[in-house]
Amino acid sequence: MSRKLFTKSELKNYDGEDGKPIYVAVGSKVYDLSDSRLWAGGRHMGTHSAGAELSGSIENAPHGAEVLSRFPLVGELASEEPAPETLAQRIADLYPHSIIIHFPIAFSTTVSLFSILYLLTGEASFELASYYVLALGLLASPFCGLSGVFSWRMKYRAVRNDAFSRKIWLTVALMGVTTVCFVWRFLDPTVLVGETSMSYVYLVMQIGLALIAALLGHTGGKIVFSK
């Protein structure tokens, strides 16, 4: 018995919404995932949608296409002439956010380290290093945020779920706290001198940057490596 041949436009009708079957294509094969609890409602982990060709998503997933062998093979995807790749798609394929994100995370986690070293040793160069690293983090944050929005729209079709919402708010928090710390240090270069109560408030805010950066990294990992 020959299997049904699906075009991409036909496949979109099997998106799992309103009780429809849940079909996805990987390569040239179309699978019925209607019985998978991980695809309830036609969505997988709040990121991937049914009724689509997901070969690219499988390549970036922590599992391979072999997991689909558990489900019925219902047809094949008709080959179509690929549309010319746009400049935006080419840039997205370079994963710019994955490259840029490491810079503000590194800066945010080392700012407080230099400040603590200054308080322990009294060496002024440590405090100055903390200020310069803070400035670099402030400069890098907008590029990181813009590249994140770009990748979110290009690679995840601007899907809104808990993980993406959390990452957006954490990014806003990181940029906000970084800005406050930088402006404070710019207006008061002696904020850490003398170990006053304000010095420790300033230091706690810097430590907060490291915690926010860690949460951002954790959330990003859940988005990329979630099963």
* pLDDT tens-digit series, residues 42-56: 777 666 788 888 777
The predicted structure's pLDDT at residue 226: 64
Contacts of 87 (CB under 8 A, 6+ apart): none
DSSP alpha helix (H) spans, the chain: 8-11, 55-59, 87-92, 96-100, 102-121, 124-156, 162-187, 197-225
Look at residue 62 and tell me whether its pLDDT is greater than 60. Answer: no
Higher pLDDT, 79 or 196: 196
Shared-domain flag, residues 73 and 92: no
Number of domains in the chain: 2
Cβ 148 vs Cβ 158: under 8 Å: no
Q: What is the mean pLDDT of residues 8-36?
A: 86
- Kindly state whether residue 82 falls inside one of the protein's structural domains: no
Shared-domain flag, residues 126 and 212: yes
Query: Partners of 25 in the beta sheet?
Result: 30, 53
Task: Express each pLDDT in 176-197 by its tens digit.
Answer: 999 999 999 999 999 999 879 9
Look at residue 205 and tell me whether its pLDDT is greater than 90. Answer: yes
Task: Express each pLDDT in 140-156 by its tens digit.
Answer: 999 999 999 999 888 88
Query: Partners of 192 in the beta sheet?
Result: none
Look at residue 92 and tell me whether its pLDDT is greater than 80. Answer: yes
Shared-domain flag, residues 60 and 144: no
The predicted structure's pLDDT at residue 222: 84
Shared-domain flag, residues 70 and 163: no
Residue 191 is part of which domain span?
88-225
- Kindly state whether residue 83 falls inside one of the protein's structural domains: no
Last residue of a domain, one of 77, 103, 134: 77
Smallest CA-to-CA distance from 74 within 58, 90, 50 is with 50
- Kindly state whether residue 38 falls inside one of the protein's structural domains: yes
Tokens, residue 140: 């890098």
Shared-domain flag, residues 93 and 73: no
Per the prediction, the chain carries an average pLDDT of 87
Shared-domain flag, residues 158 and 52: no
C-alpha 2/C-alpha 210 separation (Å) is: 58
DSSP conformational letter for 65: G
Task: Express each pLDDT in 110-149 by its tens digit.
Answer: 999 999 999 999 999 999 999 999 999 999 999 999 999 9
Shared-domain flag, residues 130 and 25: no
- Kindly state whether residue 119 falls inside one of the protein's structural domains: yes
Shared-domain flag, residues 61 and 164: no
Share of the chain above pLDDT 90, in %: 44
Shared-domain flag, residues 128 and 179: yes
- Helices 102-121 and 197-225 pack at an angle, to 10 degrees, of 150
- Kindly state whether residue 118 falls inside one of the protein's structural domains: yes
Shared-domain flag, residues 61 and 160: no
pTM (whole model) above 0.75: no
Higher pLDDT, 64 or 14: 14
Shared-domain flag, residues 70 and 95: no
The predicted structure's pLDDT at residue 81: 64
- Kindly state whether residue 111 falls inside one of the protein's structural domains: yes
- Specify the pairing of strand 73-77 against strand 4-6: parallel
C-alpha 97/C-alpha 147 separation (Å) is: 5
Cβ 43 vs Cβ 57: under 8 Å: no
Shared-domain flag, residues 111 and 32: no
Last residue of a domain, one of 52, 77, 102: 77
The predicted structure's pLDDT at residue 132: 97
Look at residue 1 and tell me whether its pLDDT is greater than 50. Answer: no
Contacts of 18 (CB under 8 A, 6+ apart): none
Look up the CATH number of the domain holding residue 65.
3.10.120.10
- Kindly state whether residue 209 falls inside one of the protein's structural domains: yes
The 3-state secondary structure of 159-198, one letter per residue: CCCHHHHHHHHHHHHHHHHHHHHHHHHHHCCCCCCCCCHH
